[in-house]
Amino acid sequence: MIKTLLAIVAGVLNAVSFAPFNWWPLSMLSFAMLFWIWHTSSTKGATWYGFVYGLGMFGVGISWIYISIHTFGGMPPIIAGLCIFVLVAILSIFPALSGWLQSCFSAWRPTIRLAFLMPSLWILFEWLRGWLFTGLPWLSTGYAYLDTPLSNYAPIGGVYLVSLIVLVSVGTLVAIIRQITTGNSILAVLFILVWVAGWQLNKTAWTQTQGQPISVAVIQNNVALRKKWDEQEVNRIIFEYMQKSQEYRDVDLIVWPEAAIPDYLDNIANDFWRDIEDHPADFIFGVLHRDTVDDVTQYYNSAVAVTDHIMIYGKQHLVPFGEYFPFPGLLGPLTEMLNIPMSYFSAWQQPQSPLIAAENRFAVSICYEDAFPQEWRDQVESSGALINVSEDSWFGDSLAPHQRLQMARFRARESERPMIRSSNNGLSSVINWKGGIDVYAPQFVQHVVTATIQPRSGATPYVAFGENPVLILIGTWLIVGLLFGKSAERNNKLYT
């Protein structure tokens, strides 16, 4: 019972290491507790403790989903709570599997198991969680270390490399606490040097400036969701965006958020296009788009760039239960309880190029697509900057907008590209190429973010190779364990 409570508490500590709390040392304490519990547990116990650790971590870390499906989706509170519990339990299977699999190697030398096996398996299942069943890569360990020297490894191997460095460091620390040996001490010194090297890496640039700076205005109009999807409000919403934009005729680019125009592209009045044409700036904004082929109409959540012509980007990675309903035959009765507008989108399937505006190329993502960096690396390499348009009103005053901003900052850091982030109700930001926030808008107010960004060119190692080097490193870690991990103390008793 004590270990169960400790595992739950450890999971909660991990959750609050992320934004908006940013108490990253608690992440290290959290994993130290978990690794110690795993090391002293049977196979059955390690599986259970991994599961309840996940309950604590995800139960706090993604609690905001309740706001989305109950407060704004209209699902009854008991049913919404049950749905969140089921989702949290499913996600907790991943740390449970990590616990189970590491316990299968209880005969390994303790240092190898703590410093190599447990970290490798955790990152492997963290990576699987990021894409299996469409993926939910929330609370990946490395995000909590964005404001530490370890973030300078992001351009080399992305969030999973940072995660791996953290967890191997923690495993080494636990091994030393368990027993001080020459080997453990040498390993500890090596990882202290890795942390110190992070400071030096801050001086390294894998990319270079490109072209002239771009002046930007990001319009945050804080449109209430109940009004946004009211057909009677569409013209007023468009008028307010255009009216606010008229105050910024001296900038190069104006950006509006996701579905800023809550109407289909082909349904927008000609007056709007005349106003856009008369404005000296280029525009990028979110809008709905539909396309009919062979009498079948598909609907897309899109972003458009408007210069002397129009380019369209269609969202590729849709939000389950928000933009489409998976397994409609199985989940039909449940989804009927949700009242989410525009929830039958199609995912864009064709290859897409960066949007061109202000004489530059922008790698575009819509809403939580920026949590899936592997899906837009091709865009990034040929772009000078990043743009994310979002609608965070669905999350209310919760952890989610802050977590999303943290992930967006990480995308800028690992690609060494400035990012323009436009959100309807807050935390619209201009992020520099190092992942720092140059300027941002507070939540739940109308605001305009103005800044100048400097496009960049070149590919960081992460943009060039993605997660492949980290996965190879994990595989190497596991091979090292297989070769050198067998302990002479095969009959050591484990405590449940």
Q: Which residues are catalytic?
A: 258, 315, 367
| The two three-digit tokens of residue 268, written as one number | 């927008």
Cα separation, 109 vs 485, whole angstroms: 5
Other beta carbons within 10 angstroms of residue 378's beta carbon come to 15
Q: What does the alpha-carbon distance between residue 255 and residue 357 come to, in Å, rounded to a whole number?
A: 10
Closest CA to 179 of 437, 492, 472: 492
In sequence order, the β-bridge partners of residue 286 are 303
Q: Phi first, then psi: what are they for 411, rounded to 5°?
A: -60, -40
Q: Distances from the Cα of 112 to the Cαs of 127, 395, 472, in angstroms?
A: 21, 42, 18
Q: Are 417 and 383 in contact (CB under 8 A)?
A: yes
CB 142 within 8 A of CB 162: yes
Tokens of 94: 């991943």
d(CA 393, CA 399): 12
DSSP 117: I
Q: Is 366 helix (H, G, I), strand (E, B) or coil?
A: strand
Q: How far is CA 437 from CA 366, 367, 452, in A?
A: 19, 18, 12
Burial (CB count within 10 angstroms: exposed 0-12, middle 13-18, buried 19+), residue 391? buried
Q: Give the angle 298-299-300 at the CA atoms, nearest 5°.
A: 125
Single-letter residue type at 27: S
Nearest Cα residue to 248 out of 219, 270, 284 = 219
